[in-house]
Amino acid sequence: MKLFLYLMVFVFAACNHAAKTNDTAVKDTGSALVKRDSVTEYTPVLTDTSLENKITNALMKLPFVIESNDHIDSFSNHRHGIAFILDEPLENETDISVKAGYNGGERFETYYRFFVNPKTMDIKVYDPAADEKLTVSAYLKSKQ
């Protein structure tokens, strides 16, 4: 009998007989303030598309970039190649920052970081281990 009584109390406690109200939920407007950091929603910062094309074409001629492009092409079943994200130079710099890597569905995987002078098209490769910008030839020598 006690078991039946406990069961009945449990059933009645589980039921929610709250009266319906006309209160509406407050809409969350905070999401409008969140800056989306998705590669699919990336808006290019560099406004000069001819300069962007010139830089990406120059980078695509580098042997290690070609090798990475082929690697990405092979594991993505020939649907993707290497992708580039170009950013305007900072106030105290003249070089354009370029990230090169795989543009995955969830994130951008940076393989290389370049700094390109837009006037001379001089390319430097950032070496994170040494924390310095190397010329392409110096970078190639360091990888041998």
**Structure confidence at residue 124 as a pLDDT band (50, 70, 90):** very high
Q: What is the 3-state secondary structure (H, E, C) of 12-74?
A: HHHCCCCCCCCCCCCCCCHHHHCCCCCHHHCCCCCCCHHHHHHHHHHHCCCHHHHHHHHHHHH
Q: Name the region of 67 (left: φ>0; alpha: ψ -120 to 50; beta: rest).
A: alpha
> 0.95 cut: is pTM over it?
no
- pLDDT above 90 as % of the chain: 49
- Which pLDDT band holds residue 116 (cuts at 50, 70, 90)? very high
The percentage of residues in the chain with a pLDDT greater than 70, rounded to a whole number, is 67
Radius of gyration of the chain (CA): 27
Query: What digits encode the pLDDT tens for the residues 44-63?
Result: 455 668 899 999 999 999 99
| Residue 79 pLDDT | 86
More confident residue, 79 or 19: 79
Q: How confident is the model at residue 143 (pLDDT cuts 50, 70, 90)?
A: confident
